[in-house]
Amino acid sequence: MHNFDFVKPSSIADAVKALSGDGAQALSGGQTLTPTLKQRLAQPSVLVSLTGIAEMKGVCMGADGLSIGAATPHAVVAREAAKDYPGLAALAGGIGDPAVRNRGTIGGSLANNDPAACYPAGVLGSGATIVTNKRKIAADDYFQGMFTTALDEGEIITGVTFPVPQKAAYVKFNQPASRFALTGVFVAKFAGGVRVAVTGASNNGVFRWTEAEAALSANFAAAAVEGLTVSPEDMIGDLHGTPEYRAHLVKVLTKRAVAAAH
């Protein structure tokens, strides 16, 4: 690990100021950044911790839906969102292991946008809004490919607002060693239709399965997607599974998620 300075601001304004310096990098839960530093794959001159900012923590219901501070750990989301959004709470409770859930944060997960992370599916599937120090970004505009987001240089996520659906569930097929999703599907039923978001499967990162959304909006039952197929063309292929296998999992897990939502 290379030498670096460490600062822990207590306000968003101070964090933004600290991140404007050369070589500064934001640190939230550190579940990706810390291993990267240990392997000397990143060389920031200053780490700016976001975990000391009180206004970026907490879970609460408001007029616009369920608001979650970006520095809120997964374990807190799993506990405090259970009443208002049980499908999202269950997703948070299944991330990693207890150590990861008590350190990792929703903001860090979304900023990193790992193609196999769970939160992107929940955010995209919910049609959530990502709130930053500069603006609000709709989930459909935020995710722009593997490890790529709409965030500008120096822009930080301060919170996420979730519309609460009538029914929702997340089902993933775990990669046993990491507990990342080999494939994961989040299904949310709203009055105006159904959203289906898939993580872990595509080389382009999290995506919406629009054909399933149309079928499930007409009939919210697992049988509604029975006749659909998923193209393996852009799917990930590695030692854990072929593109065809992941394409198959998308359909299987979508059916399971619909059943779980019921």
Q: 108 in a domain, yes or no?
A: yes
Let me know whether 240 and 171 are in one domain.
yes
Q: 218 in a domain, yes or no?
A: yes
Give the gyration radius of the chain's Cα atoms.
18
* AA letter at 206: V
Q: Is the confidence at residue 45, as pLDDT, over 90? A: no
pLDDT, tens digit, for every residue of 207-259? 999 999 999 999 999 999 999 999 999 999 999 999 999 999 999 999 999 99
Q: 118 in a domain, yes or no?
A: yes
Let me know whether 251 and 210 are in one domain.
yes
**The predicted structure's pLDDT at residue 30:** 83
> Domain containing 108 — which CATH number?
3.30.465.10
Let me know whether 176 and 198 are in one domain.
yes
Query: What range does the domain containing 197 cover?
Result: 167-261
Please check whether residue 129 is in contact with residue 138, taking contact to mean a CB–CB distance below 8 angstroms: yes
Total count of residues recorded for the chain: 262
Let me know whether 179 and 246 are in one domain.
yes
Q: 54 in a domain, yes or no?
A: no
Q: 252 in a domain, yes or no?
A: yes
Q: 116 in a domain, yes or no?
A: yes
Let me know whether 30 and 66 are in one domain.
no
Let me know whether 132 and 200 are in one domain.
no
> Domain containing 206 — which CATH number?
3.30.390.50
Please check whether residue 21 is in contact with residue 32, taking contact to mean a CB–CB distance below 8 angstroms: no
Let me know whether 158 and 229 are in one domain.
no
Does this model's pTM top 0.75? My answer is yes
Q: Is the confidence at residue 74, as pLDDT, over 90? A: yes
Let me know whether 209 and 128 are in one domain.
no
Let me know whether 24 and 79 are in one domain.
no
Question: Burial code of 207-219, b = ≥16 C-beta within 10 A, e = fewer?
Answer: bbbeebbebbbee
Distance of alpha carbon 246 from alpha carbon 171, whole angstroms: 14
Let me know whether 22 and 68 are in one domain.
no
DSSP 3-state assignment of 82?
coil
Distance of alpha carbon 138 from alpha carbon 197, whole angstroms: 14
Of the pLDDT bands very low, low, confident and very high (cuts 50, 70, 90), residue 37 is: confident
Distance of alpha carbon 49 from alpha carbon 26, whole angstroms: 6
Q: How many structural domains comprise the chain?
A: 3
Q: 146 in a domain, yes or no?
A: yes
Distance of alpha carbon 206 from alpha carbon 127, whole angstroms: 13
> What does the CA dihedral 111, 236, 219, 124 come to, rounded to 10 degrees?
10
Let me know whether 155 and 88 are in one domain.
yes
Distance of alpha carbon 71 from alpha carbon 105, whole angstroms: 5
> Domain containing 36 — which CATH number?
3.30.43.10
pLDDT, tens digit, for every residue of 98-129? 999 999 999 999 999 999 999 999 999 999 99
- Give the whole-number percent of the chain exceeding pLDDT 90: 83
DSSP 3-state assignment of 83?
coil
**The predicted structure's pLDDT at residue 34:** 81
Distance of alpha carbon 114 from alpha carbon 199, whole angstroms: 9
**The predicted structure's pLDDT at residue 145:** 93
**DSSP alpha helices (H): ranges in 139-234?**
139-142, 210-218
Let me know whether 63 and 30 are in one domain.
no
Distance of alpha carbon 130 from alpha carbon 137, whole angstroms: 5
Q: 140 in a domain, yes or no?
A: yes
